[in-house]
Amino acid sequence: METILTTTLSLTLISAAIALLLTLADRTIGNYGEVKLIINEEKEYIVEGGNSLLSTLIDQKVFIPSACGGKGTCGYCKVAVHEGGGPVLATELPFISEEELSRNVRLSCQCKVKEDIKIEIPEELFNVKEFEATVESIMDLTKVIKLIRIKLPEDEEISFKPGQYVQLKAPLYEGNTEEVYRAYSIASSPLETDHIDLVIGYVPQGIVTTYVHHHLNEEDTVYINGPYGDFYYQDNDREMVMVAVGTGVAPILSILNYMKSMNIQRKARFYFGAKTPEDLFMLDYFKELEETLYDFEFIPCLSRVPEDSDWDGFRGRVTDALDKFLEDPENKEAYLCGSEAMIDSVVEVLTKKGIPEELIYFDKF
């Protein structure tokens, strides 16, 4: 017993010593002092060195899209670093093409600010705003998907294109020791400027989805920033082929809500994929859209229908439905939202059907 206690005490002392050394190293070796951050050759900031470029920009209220919270797994937070970024890291290479490397593109979440640094970002990102907003309502769409309505402050509005997204910040809460942003597509129409709707599914161990599903309440204050994204409604007269699975419905909803508000006269078909009847939601609303929009059809597709189910709709994946129902590709364009695997499989079907890739718009998550 004495040997066990001695061993335990020794390990505790060693761990404490290592922690102390790491803390001292962070305060000395990692202390880069104040450095200069120059953006687009015109905006200059004095910042504390040592943090990632992404978090440094956030501290200056310059928001760069990042769907993974700075973990280096989404590849969204790209900026051009012309001076002071250090060598490109191995963690960045899977997300940066040769052409982008030639233009000094980096992942801002992986690039450390250790010295004076010059970067270039799209001008429109200077128009991204952060809002201190209020949760107006929370509605359960399924057991694992919620519809969140966020009310903006009285004197503020958000201007976005239907299909774009915002970032929602999860604060510190029990079990979470860091503030984290995640990207969520806006589901409401851009004509509804005093609020936005988000469709958020629960992901086990997901920091922000856990916050939303287990900690967030109506009347709570939340922080969002945006808008972001180059996936949005294109104004023309082509027939629209829409495809989404699960929470990928959000940007499609925004586009449909916009079309309803503007009384847009376009033919549209929406293929919505789910596993079982319990995974479908907002069926009454899509039925209403079939009656109110110019020429709209809602086609729910279930891939795992129980044998004893009375489901009389399409059985199979959205790709199966597209293969069966989609005919003449002439004058059509597509809007897709879902996982990478789903998007890739749908693009393959659509291109085989004859829809040009340049007319297939998508948002992968």
Tell me the three-class secondary structure of 97-148, residue by residue.
CHHHHHCCEEECCCCECCCCEEEECCHHHHHCEEEEEEEEEEEECCCCEEEE
How confident is the model at residue 191, as a pLDDT?
96
How confident is the model at residue 67, as a pLDDT?
74
Query: Which residues fall within 8 angstroms of residue 48, CB to CB, at 6 or more apart?
Result: 32, 33, 34, 35, 56
Q: Is residue 4 part of a domain?
A: no
Same-domain status, 303 and 326: yes
How confident is the model at residue 364, as a pLDDT?
85
How confident is the model at residue 34, as a pLDDT?
93
Phi/psi at 320 (5° precision): -65, -40
How confident is the model at residue 10, as a pLDDT?
53
Q: How sure is the predictor about 284, in pLDDT bands with cuts at 50, 70 and 90?
A: very high
Give me the domain span that covers residue 269.
Answer: 239-364
Same-domain status, 246 and 347: yes
How many domains does the chain divide into?
3
Q: Which pTM was predicted? A: 0.84
Q: What is the mean pLDDT of residues 223-251?
A: 96
Count of CB atoms within 10 A of residue 122's CB?
Answer: 14
Alpha helices in the chain (DSSP H): 2-28, 53-59, 98-102, 207-214, 249-262, 283-292, 318-325, 340-353
The amino acid present at 77, given as its one-letter code, is: C
Q: Is residue 1 part of a domain?
A: no
Phi/psi at 90 (5° precision): -60, -30
Q: Which residue, of 80, 106, 123, is where some domain finishes?
A: 123
Q: How sure is the predictor about 27, in pLDDT bands with cuts at 50, 70 and 90?
A: very low
Q: What is the mean pLDDT of residues 36-44?
A: 95
How confident is the model at residue 146, as a pLDDT?
98
Phi/psi at 22 (5° precision): -65, -40
pLDDT over 50 at 346, yes or no: yes
Q: Which residue, of 228, 253, 276, is where some domain finishes?
A: 228
Q: How sure is the predictor about 24, in pLDDT bands with cuts at 50, 70 and 90?
A: very low
Q: Which residue, of 228, 255, 270, is where some domain finishes?
A: 228
User: How far apart are alpha carbons 123 and 104 in whole angstroms?
Assistant: 17
User: How far apart are alpha carbons 131 and 223 in whole angstroms?
Assistant: 6
The answer to whether 204 touches 160, Cβ cutoff 8 Å, is no
Same-domain status, 84 and 150: no
The answer to whether 105 touches 78, Cβ cutoff 8 Å, is yes
Q: Is residue 78 part of a domain?
A: yes
